[in-house]
């Protein structure tokens, strides 16, 4: 079965420093992978997605993620954090289409704190 693990529940960075949010997945086939962001009291917004094209994916607000099959990872990065990046981030993997369950599987989230 597919699964996704976000390795850090909380990450703190200083404004202007790089951001790294880690995500590992387990899949028996080639999955689609997504990152979502949730600002306080808001819905989830799609940041970026990987769907078997280029392994380095660029998203909105300067975020990007690299799909590494050998490491089963899909880490989210940003060169320079901004105060407005403070939010919760979710890594998501698509379920195996042959399983018949047709699901997205969510990680438990990483809360990013940006220090002034």
The CA-atom distances, in angstroms, between 96 and each of 34, 51, 101, 102 are 15, 13, 8, 7
Binds other proteins (CB under 8 A): choice among 23, 87, 90, 112: 90
The binder of other proteins chosen from 32, 64, 66, 77 (CB under 8 A): 32
Q: How far apart are the first and last CA of the chain?
A: 41
22 binds other proteins (CB under 8 A): no
Binding residue for other proteins (CB under 8 A) from 40, 43, 98, 116? 43
Separation of alpha carbons 101 and 13, rounded Å: 38
Asked if residue 94 binds other proteins (CB under 8 A), the reply is yes
Decide if 88 contacts 100 (C-beta within 8 A): no
Residues that bind other proteins (CB under 8 A): 32, 34, 36, 41-46, 49, 51, 90, 92, 94-95, 97, 101-104, 106-109
């Amino acid at each position: 079965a597919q699964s996704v693990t976000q390795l850090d529940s909380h990450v703190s960075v200083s404004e202007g420093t790089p951001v790294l949010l880690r995500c590992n997945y387990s899949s028996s086939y080639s999955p689609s992978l997504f990152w979502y962001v949730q600002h306080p009291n808001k819905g989830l917004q799609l940041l970026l997605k990987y769907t078997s094209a280029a392994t380095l994916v660029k998203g909105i607000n300067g975020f990007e993620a690299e799909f590494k099959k050998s490491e089963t990872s899909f880490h989210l990065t940003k060169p320079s954090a901004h105060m407005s990046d403070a939010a919760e981030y979710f890594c998501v993997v698509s379920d195996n289409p042959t399983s018949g369950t047709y699901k997205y599987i969510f990680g438990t989230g990483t809360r990013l704190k940006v220090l002034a």
